[in-house]
Amino acid sequence: MAAVAGLVRGPLRQVSGLLKRRFHRSAPAALQLTVREAINQGMDEELERDEKVFLLGEEVAQYDGAYKVSRGLWKKYGDKRIIDTPISEMGFAGIAVGAAMAGLRPICEFMTFNFSMQAIDQVINSAAKTYYMSAGLQPVPIVFRGPNGASAGVAAQHSQCFAAWYGHCPGLKVVSPWNSEDAKGLIKSAIRDDNPVVVLENELMYGVAFELPTEAQSKDFLIPIGKAKIERQGTHITVVAHSRPVGHCLEAAAVLSKEGIECEVINLRTIRPMDIEAIEASVMKTNHLVTVEGGWPQFGVGAEICARIMEGPAFNFLDAPAVRVTGADVPMPYAKILEDNSIPQVKDIIFAIKKTLNV
């Protein structure tokens, strides 16, 4: 009998183990979404929600987008709402601005923001200024979006950051997402906004997956334009960044934490209007400030932050001068080793933080 019981118990244990493994596998996993998928999901939800929304740009329709950000949208919404354009930024940006003035809500994709220089008259003179020049009678609800800043191995003409360029102009709102939550929440807010919004994405972030919080999975999820987010709490120094450098700052903060230095990392999210209140509150707590960006130093985002801090109530709380970490003040080199030394790396951020804290 004991032998028979042993023969029965063996298979039962195997079945039990198999069931446990299957149950474990079927447990709901945290939703991982790449930045590319998050932007796609945000646009899809807004296209579905409002029939006035449409997307136009080079290769956005039949090819699913040069970076596959608009994958599946043409098949779902058709030629009238997902529109392939000729290689003529001035032309299709002008068409998009006119459509916005006529009551539609266009999403105008630039294959890269470097090409937006061909259409900058439409972005600034036609889109940004019309609401003011019409005394508030003519809104221009348009989104200009696409990859911004340095990519990899594409040299000087395709590696510029336009955050300071467009952040300089009244009449525009400018957002710069870092992770998937940022990307989805900000693109949806940008589409619903009645002002022209420039959405500066980052090509190197498109394929990076992040955990999407439960609330961000809702079709009603929005991130308010003009509000920064504290990504990591700290007490010794405030580190402010936008776009891809936010990740570098968090890496630097993790390294420095092991040395007893606690960094407060702020993800700016919006370039214009800037959430200077969030930065001031943090600086009043930490008494030190470092800004990090991929763009050039002169008249940059970091320069604006430092000026606003100097002019405001947080200045008297600083125990050391604010320090900027920026891209090198040169056109982007093509050689990889020179390219790496032309954009901020984690080691550069660590060096700047230690310099500011005098350690």
Residues serving a catalytic function are 89, 158
CA distances from 278 to 31, 104, 205, 226, 309 (A): 29, 34, 25, 10, 11
Torsion angle (degrees, nearest 10) of CA 57, 59, 61, 65: -100
Neighbours of 297 (CB within 10 A): 15
Q: Evaluate whether 84 touches 108 at the Cβ level (below 8 Å).
A: no
Cα–Cα dist 67/70, whole Å: 8
- Sign of dihedral through CA atoms 217, 218, 220, 223? negative
The per-residue DSSP string of 280-312 comes to HHHHHHHS-EEEE-SS-STT-HHHHHHHHHHHS
Q: Evaluate whether 85 touches 124 at the Cβ level (below 8 Å).
A: no
Instruction: Please choose, from the candidates 280, 270, 268, the residue with its C-alpha nearest in 3D space to the C-alpha of residue 312.
Output: 280
Please list, in sequence order, all residues whose beta carbon lies within 8 angstroms of the beta carbon of residue 101, skipping any fewer than 6 positions away: 130, 138, 140
